[in-house]
Structure 1
Amino acid sequence: MEMPTNETAIASNRDAWNDSARHHKDSPEWPALLEAVTHSDFSCIDDTLRAVLEQVGVAGKDAVQVGCNNGRESLSLFALGARSVVGIDQSQAFLDQARELASRSPHSAKFIEADIHHLPTELHEQFDLALITIGVLNWMPDIAEFFRHVAQILKPGGALVIYETHPFLEMFDPEANDPYRPDSSYFRSEPFVQTQPIVYEGKVEQQAPASYWFVHTLGAMFSGALDAGLRISHFKEYPHSNREELYDQYEQQKAQLPLCFTWVGIKG
């Protein structure tokens, strides 16, 4: 299969996410979320990420979430004392949901539609803290270029906090006959391609724009971040899954895989 250019893959991923937004809004979690964000102490951030954010410090800082989806985690940063919060995503449909949630919140967050590779220059060096959570890095064709753009929007001394699924998991297919046998190379260079809607649980048997999921090794992530001028001040791997429920089967094994990680890079 002919691989798309990076720009084509990014554009197709945007179309796929715009298509998927309606499926997420149809879930029973949406009405509950609309109510939950009305509380000033609303947070959907789990204990693992909260501990890292508290260690880095959020209180009184200008924060940005890169790849904010429907903004629920962006709004959660106010509970940790953020002074201001901006969410960036390239999916207009998910940003519509983010703005609907923000309209219910007692806090004022701003949401910007932009591809991280083409950010407005007025965002450069504007943030003390940037947050990336699960399901962002693998949509990026060139991880080193991605980190260069993220580093640009941090103030000197600003921190990039990442809480992501572990790349080891990309080697396994949770729906295979033997889900514990490696199914794909850790060093895979071509993306996984999906032509069904992107949903977190189960599958929707409909045609959708192609989405491209790129595999990045830890080495590629570290090298890309260091080349972007980020000093790695924290890296920790965990045995719990922060991915779809299908991946819960990889928890509590005798030969335990690392399932997710937290990571902090400081802009020099």
Structure 2
Amino acid sequence: MKNDEYLDVNRALWDERVPIHVGSEFYDVAGFRAGADALRDFELAEVGDVSGRSLAHLQCHFGLDTLSWARRGARVTGLDFSAPAIETARSLASETGLDARFVVSDVYAAPEALGETYDIVYTGLGAICWLPDIARWARTVAALLRPGGFLYLSEFHPFADTLDEETGTTVTFDYFDRGPQEWTQSGTYADRSAPTRHNRSISFAHGVGDVVSAVIAAGLRLDFLHEHEYTVFAPFQNLQKDGQIYRVPEGRPRVPLMYSLRATRA
């Protein structure tokens, strides 16, 4: 793989999927327009009150989470490498009357593209697997934080990615394989049957230890690391839905399905 091949390949994939996601039941954009919140309860509890605080959302896709933080009083900036995603985010902000800034940029160029620092840098689920260099990402985050500001990351747990896709009971994939991992799959997690043309993607695995070590090496103080036994997206067929989340069936050994961390710049 050439140095920036992952950017071109993944950008084509995400550009194509923006209108599919906007129209999907999974994202429920109509519900958001009507006032629904796209954020998860555990995120709200762990981040806390954002009223009047500046928040940068890296890899924001088309901005539902970003705009949800705006609804809760934050002064928000969303950044994503997909121009169609950012165009859609700006349209949603205008439609809903929410004050938000959206910028097209590769995440590693965020300090230059945004030109300011923030109280909070937020990164939501399914984001860092698209980045090849987690140490560079952590340094980027640190550069975006003002003193006393914090990073909040919520992610799918990498251990869950080692389990077989059908039952989630057998370790099938290598936890320490750091990629790049190439996939070719039509459709999207929001609509498996959607016809798509750009189906190749390049992703990268980052263990929890990799992420925590990178954050600390970038000069941030780890406030907490929480592992969660539930997930908001079912990677295995036999997980049971419990409201808006999915859990391992009762009586079966539980494994971590998501994790979250917060780290502060001194």
- TM-score by structure 1 length? 0.87
Matched, 1:20 2:41: no
Aligned match of 2:200: 210
| Root mean square deviation, CA, Å | 2.2
Contact 1:134 1:243 survives alignment (8 Å) = no
User: Which of the numbers 225, 233, 236 marks the counterpart of 1:235?
Assistant: 225
Show the counterpart of 1:196.
Answer: 185
- Which of 8, 11, 22 is the matching residue for 1:11? 8
Q: Deviations over 1:246-265 (max 9, x none)?
A: 46626235210011011001
- 1:75 has 2:67 as partner: yes
Give SS of 1:45's match. Answer: coil
Alpha-carbon distance between aligned partners in 2 of 1:266 and 1:36, rounded to the nearest angstrom? 31
Secondary structure of the structure 2 residue equivalent to 1:119: helix
Find the counterpart in structure 2 of residue 98 from structure 1: 89
Summarize deviations over 1:47-106 as a string: whole Å, max 9, x none.
11110111xx41210111111111010011123321x10000001121122112111122
Matched, 1:107 2:98: yes
Q: Structure 2 CA distance, aligned partners of 1:265 and 1:185?
A: 28
Q: Gapped runs of 5+ residues in structure 1?
A: none
1:46 partnered with 2:40:
yes
Measured in 2, the distance between the counterparts of 1:248 and 1:265 equals: 34
Contact 1:196-1:205 within 8 A present in 2 as well: no
Secondary structure of the residue that 2:231 maps to in structure 1? coil
- Identity over aligned pairs, percent: 27
Task: Give the drift of 1:210.
Answer: 2.2
8 Å CA contact retained: 1:196, 1:209: yes
For 2:215, the equivalent position in structure 1 comes to 225
Q: Which residue of 2 aligns with 1:59?
A: 51
Q: Deviations over 1:90-134 (max 9, x none)?
A: 011211221121111222111100001123526355210011111
1:162 corresponding residue in structure 2 = 153
Q: Is the 8 A contact 1:172 1:184 kept in 2?
A: yes
The answer for unaligned runs of 5 or more in structure 2 is 240-246
Count of residue pairs the alignment pairs up: 257
